[in-house]
Structure 1
Amino acid sequence: MTTPDLAPPRTVVGVVAVWIAAAVAAVVVGILAPAEDRAMWMPVALGGCLILAFAIQLALGRVRGFIERVAVSVLGALFVMGFVGIGFGLASLVGA
């Protein structure tokens, strides 16, 4: 028998943590990878964000809404990395 949560923990923190990690990963890929290899390394970084999202949500220990939290984490990471990637792409066009 399980007891209900009287004050459920904040689950938004885990989602936002993945978004921040995605921004950091995208900036690191944008700075360290050559311009022609960035498109290859961005999906690798997104895969790392997916694994991080699973790890964070499993560490929270909340069953209800697990799939939704992971999906929002990864989708947000995709958007964050996309915006950072667009920024690096425009910067490479201007710098050329």
Structure 2
Amino acid sequence: MDDVALAPRNATHGVIAVWAVSLVAALVLGFTLPAEVRTGWILIAFGGIVLLSFAVQLSYARPQGFIARVSASVGGALLLMGLVSAAFGISALAAAL
């Protein structure tokens, strides 16, 4: 009897999920924290996002493309969190003028 190989799950969903979590985390921290402590907490959240990215990609149990998927997750999260931080920084500068 031939064993039918199951189609692997699409790992792209994990990358997009990490991006969504990073965007939500950055927005929540940006709106709830004062500007003096916001940067430190964004950095802590990014560390958690890196760990989340590893956990999500390890849960797929597919070694093919693991480094590419993790780097896409972390790179996209860094870009999103950086853009949100820059937007909050620009708004704080505009409010100070």
What TM-score do the two structures reach when normalised by structure 1? 0.88
Q: Which has the larger radius of gyration?
A: 2
CA 1:48–1:5 in structure 2 vs 1: closer, same or farther (change >3 Å)? farther
Displacement of 1:92: 1.1
Give me the identity figure in percent: 47
- Letter of the structure 1 residue corresponding to residue 92 of structure 2: S
Give me the whole-angstrom Cα distance separating, in 2, the residues matched to 1:4 and 1:52.
Answer: 32
What is the aligned-residue RMSD (CA, Å)? 1.7
CA drift of 1:81 comes to 0.2
For residue 7 of structure 1, report the CA deviation from its aligned partner.
2.8
Moved more, 37-46 or 4-13: 4-13
Q: Report whether the alignment pairs 1:79 with 2:82.
A: no
Show the 5 A alignment for 1:50-69: 50-69=50-69
Q: Distance in 2 between matches of 1:92 and 1:26?
A: 16
Task: Give the match for residue 8 of structure 1.
Answer: 8
Q: What is the match of residue 36 of structure 2?
A: 36
Q: Distance in 2 between matches of 1:4 and 1:48?
A: 38
TM-score by structure 2 length?
0.87
* Residues 1:95 and 1:79: Cα distance change in structure 2 (over 3 Å): same
Q: Are residues 55 and 4 of structure 1, via their aligned partners in 2, closer, same or farther at CA, if it must alter by over 3 Å?
A: farther
Amino acid across the alignment from 1:20: A
Alignment of 1:18-29 (within 5 A): 18-29=18-29
